[in-house]
Amino acid sequence: MKLAKLDSAYEAYLIIGDLSLERRREVMQVNVAQLLKGDIGSVRDYEVDGVIDVTGDGKGSPVRGEVSLTRTDRSILAKGVVDSGVELTCSRCLNQFNCPLTLNIEEEYFPTTDIVSGASLPLSDEPDHFTIDEHHVLDLTEALRQRALLAIPMKPLCREDCAGLCPDCGHNLNLGPCNCPPQKADSADMNDKEKGK
């Protein structure tokens, strides 16, 4: 089921591929003026469907999911689950592959302008907090980008049973065996085995 979501996110990326990355990230921006005027506890649900530049290489990664925005006494709390994917290099065979990512977002966004008076508000003491701009627009792009970076595996594998490369000739063993002679075990390993260690 997640693959179907990922495929449609990639399809959406292909459909809007002619748009600049700046134009595509506008899909990740939500005007929350009415929510800021609402009661504490008011909730609005939004569908996220756009593209973000996760790795900073200028290539967009599709993101799709749902985010719930809740009015708190001091901010807007964004919570949701978003599916995405990035192109990575396998740590064993060095082939490029698309790695699906599931991003769980839970971030607090603080307003910078009072919704009634328009006066500037003092910034929050929270470290690395996200803000709502002076036009009351909440931008999910950076929070999703950071979550995607944290979700990328440290040793990405194109598949769990990736055979990797031959250490002698560099042949991709996923494509079949190479013509190298079978490896002989290291003499220290042989001595340990003979001694029963």
Q: Where residue 37 falls among pLDDT bands split at 50, 70, 90?
A: very high
Task: Kindly report the number of other CB atoms within 10 A of residue 23's CB atom.
Answer: 12
Q: What is the pTM of this model?
A: 0.73
* pLDDT tens-digit map of 141-157: 999 999 999 999 999 99
Q: Look at residue 180 and tell me whether its pLDDT is greater than 50.
A: yes
Q: Look at residue 185 and tell me whether its pLDDT is greater than 60.
A: no
| Arithmetic mean of pLDDT over the chain | 81
Q: ∠ at Cα 90 (87, 91), nearest 5°?
A: 135
Q: Look at residue 36 and tell me whether its pLDDT is greater than 60.
A: yes
Provide the b/e sequence for 46-78 (b: ≥16 CB within 10 Å): bebbbbbbbeeeeebbbbbbebebbbeeebbeb
Least confident stretch, 17-26, 43-52, 178-187: 17-26
Evaluate whether 60 touches 52 at the Cβ level (below 8 Å).
yes
User: What's the CA gap between 187 and 17, in Å, rounded?
Assistant: 57
Nearest one of 72, 93, 83, 69 to 148, comparing CA atoms: 83
User: What's the CA gap between 148 and 63, in Å, rounded?
Assistant: 10
* pLDDT tens-digit map of 50-74: 898 888 878 888 999 999 999 999 9
Q: Average pLDDT of 92-121?
A: 91
User: What's the CA gap between 42 and 39, in Å, rounded?
Assistant: 6
| R_g over Cα of the chain | 24
